[in-house]
Amino acid sequence: MNSNSLYKSYVVDIILPPAIIVSPITLTIGYTLTFILDYFLIKHDTKLSPFISPTELRYAIGIYHFLLPTLFASKYDFGNISFMLHPWSTAAQVVFLAKANLPVKDWIIMFFKTVTFQDDSPTNKTANEIRIDGLKKAARGLLKFAFMKIFLDGLLPKDLSDLLTLPFYSPKALFITYILAVRIYCMLGVTDIVMGIAQSLSLIRFKDVFDNPFIASSPKDFWNKRWNRLVSHMFHQFIFTKMSTKKPKQPTKFARIKAGLLIFAISGLFHDFMIAAATRTITFELTVFFLIHGMVVALEATYRTGKFKSDPTGINHIICNMLTVLFFTTTGRLFLSPILRQQVFLRIAQQF
């Protein structure tokens, strides 16, 4: 097996200093205290306004939640990734959902509904129908796992980092990139299992986090409607709507593009720092990947107008889907490279 040190970044290679190693319990307590501090700061943002504006305060909270996982870590790979993922996303909820006049109880309820992607839309379904829908969701997640293990794993090389030895745009590299992307989607079927079981037991309806992303007709269709709809909804609610809408005027096209590109930039930085928290190396390849996709989505939103704005159907949808898949597989190396380059992620992938 080749050393992954031979596979250089396509952008930069920045080695971070070693993290301060503490126990998972210590990290959990530390982050819990940090969340309490977050809420306390936002609760009293007007009192702090002579020193820092409410907006600057929220930026500061986001920044130190980015940095904390790169400074402190446990000795467990999966735990380090989780501590980067959950605390920062929770901090985003604190920043945008907590209001100075919002009681803690109401904030907790609102926070729980948002992070679990609950479906509050009116329904005439009976309790038994909701329970059955939950079981169907869980079964769908299990089928994804079965498809991954029985079919997809047999199409991939034993050492996934072998992809990095292939020319960027070789047919074999594009094929492996596509299969790996589908495998990641199937692996994330665990969300269907957990939410499906939770729905069948609690009778609380949950929205699907994914909506058949691999039949997307365009990058905009993929990112806006089909992939990780929980995060897409959060970004749209917290950033896109706030930045692109200037009352009483209608949002300008430039404001929408600027907000959209900011969302993609934040997504890229978040992924890069999540990897850095576990590997102590940051490459900014994921930031470049998301910025490329953000620019393509912006171009699509700007120039796809008139009769071309509606979703394609029939043979046109098939052609658009094939072009979308080609775009994702040709840029997908930027997304996969920092993950495959580090043995820590290969070890985690082998656990699923």
First to last CA, the chain: 21
Q: Which residues of the chain have pLDDT under 70?
A: 1-7, 86-100, 102, 237-251, 343-352
What local confidence, expressed as pLDDT, does residue 2 receive?
43
Three-state DSSP state, 106? helix
Confirm whether pTM is higher than 0.85: yes
pLDDT at 3: 46
Q: Using CA atoms, how far apart are residues 168 and 171, in angstroms rounded to an integer? A: 9
Task: Provide the residue count of the chain.
Answer: 352
Q: Which long-range contacts (CB under 8 A, 24 or more apart) does 304-308 make?
A: 304/218, 304/220
| pLDDT at res. 1 | 42
Measured CA angle at 174 (ends 170, 179), to 5 deg: 150
- What's the Cα-to-Cα distance from 266 to each of 55, 78, 272, rounded to whole Å? 17, 22, 10
DSSP SS3 for 15: strand
Q: 156 near 180, Cβ under 8 Å? A: yes
**pLDDT confidence of residue 340:** 86
24 phi and psi, to 5 degrees?
Answer: -60, -35
CB atoms within 10 A of CB 57: 19
Amino acid (1-letter code) at residue 196: G
